[in-house]
Amino acid sequence: MPLECINPTSLPMPETYTQVVVATGSRLVFVSGQEPEDVHGKLVGQGDLAAQAHQVFANLGRALAAAGARPEHVAKITIYVVNHRREYLPIIEEARVALFGNHKPADVLVGIATLSNPDYLIEVDAMAVV
């Protein structure tokens, strides 16, 4: 496994991510921000954060596979959420677990005003080590 996930006892123990990920693989994979679009570029789930979150994480999985990477190779993700509120966390986490299962890459969640399309509610990018 190219990743070592570390949660130091000197930092809070997160439930949904890992504080430190040490990568030792030989190939880096950088995945652009995945948007809530289907294969034809059509928005999925207008106004529905859960539907959009599932779509962006599914798209992330497909992008990783295209590069020969798997979800467990992901070292870090960045999640961008329009007008983020704390109550969105369980919705996002459900979609995240659908892709990653028990793997918890390092992450950052950024609340933003808007994305490239005003109907997008969430976008996720990733860095993987294979």
**Mean pLDDT, residues 119-126 taken together:** 98
- b/e per residue 33-72 (b: at least 16 CB within 10 A): bbbbbeeeeebbbeeebbbbbbbbbbbbbebbeeeebebe
- How much of the chain is helix, strand and coil, in % rounded to 5? 30, 30, 40
Its domain, for residue 46, covers: 3-129
Kindly state the average pLDDT of the residues 94-118. Answer: 97
Nearest residue to 100 (alpha-carbon basis) of 60, 67, 46, 44 = 60
Look at 10-14, 23-27, 61-65 and tell me which has the smallest mean pLDDT.
Answer: 23-27
Q: What is the mean pLDDT of the chain?
A: 94
Task: Give the mean pLDDT of 16-31.
Answer: 88
Both tokens assigned to 115? 């994305």
| Confidence bin at 16 (pLDDT 50/70/90) | confident
Report the CATH number at residue 33. 3.30.1330.40
Give the chain's domain count: 1
pLDDT tens figures, 48-96: 999 999 999 999 999 999 999 999 999 999 999 999 999 999 999 999 9
